[in-house]
Structure 1
Amino acid sequence: MHLGKEVASHPEQLMRSRYSAYYFALGQYIHDTHHPDYRGGVTPDEFTQSAKSTHWCGLQVVQSSAQGTSGVVEFKANFIDKDKLHTLHEVSNFVLENGYWLYTDGQFQPKTSQKINRNQPCPCGSGLKAKRCCL
């Protein structure tokens, strides 16, 4: 999907591809899959810079649904900042226009965070200790 060779067939598939785009800092893809009416003037370069400044380390889709031309995906995305694991919890809205699913907006749930112990397994799932991986 990031290369434009496939199109998301469901809002959850688009959500997962957008998370990956944030992980790899693919600002143009993030921009292109964000409905123009909801971008707020943010440019592809601004999406890229925002993505580069965040150390994403995990995605959990809580639930997803689609009916007709609208869909909803509830997810939790983890990121590391300094020595804390933060969880961004959002219920995202999507619309289907001209055969393409697009992200519109979402409702953020309260963000949570917890301290990461350097000697515990890294929360990114690598199997390494946190101090040898993401910290």
Structure 2
Amino acid sequence: MGVMNCYCGNTKPYSECCEVFHRNGGNTATAEQLMRSRYSAFVLANGDYLMLSHHSKTRPVREKKAIVAWAKSVNWIKLEVLATQKGNPTDDKGTVTFNAYFFENGKVDVIHEKSAFVKEKGVWKYLGLSK
């Protein structure tokens, strides 16, 4: 049996993809890589990484336990990246629009979001919903 693709949808195995960022504190080259690594962290209910990769000004520390509990309660299906704007290694901000599909309460549901990312101390962080 072959090695599974990463949870984020890339063809590399998790150990060569999102796990690298989960181990290095979210030090990604692009906003899309951070968004993909955050999706994998939701799949794995890795609350520490979700907090670490969230911008310090918008980090939902009080909701961490609830976020982890919810992430564990659903079955994650797949991630679809629909669009990226900026968010490259030379940028300091960018957006990623995506669909994250999951199975909850007997039906498939989707989170459709345009996420804003900015660099904080040179490292990409999730800021929140893009306006």
Superposed CA offset, 1:3-28 (max 9, x none): 12762110000000000000001000
Query: Match of 2:46?
Result: 26
CA distance in 2, matches of 1:6, 1:41: 17
Runs of 4+ aligned structure 1 residues displaced above 3 Å come to 43-47
Query: Match of 1:104?
Result: 127
The one-letter code matched in structure 2 to 1:29 is Y
RMSD, matched Cα: 2.0
Bigger RCO (CA 8 Å, 6+ sep): 2
Is 1:54 the counterpart of 2:77 in the alignment? no
Which has the larger share of helix? Answer: 2
User: What is the CA distance between 1:99 and its match in structure 2?
Assistant: 1.8
Question: CA 1:46–1:63 in 2, change beyond 3 Å: closer, same or farther?
Answer: same
1:8-27 matches, within 5 Å, as: 8-27=28-47
Report the 3-state secondary structure (helix = DSSP H, G, I; strand = E; otherwise coil) of the residue aligned with 1:2. Answer: helix
Which has the larger share of strand? Answer: 1
Report the 3-state secondary structure (helix = DSSP H, G, I; strand = E; otherwise coil) of the residue aligned with 2:37. Answer: helix
Between the two proteins, what is the percent identity of the paired residues? 35
Please, which moves more after superposition, 8-17 or 98-107? 98-107
User: What is the CA distance between 1:51 and its match in structure 2?
Assistant: 1.5
Q: Structure 1: any 5+ residue segments left out of the alignment?
A: 109-135
Superposed CA offset, 1:95-130 (max 9, x none): 01212100011159xxxxxxxxxxxxxxxxxxxxxx
User: What is the CA distance between 1:57 and its match in structure 2?
Assistant: 0.9
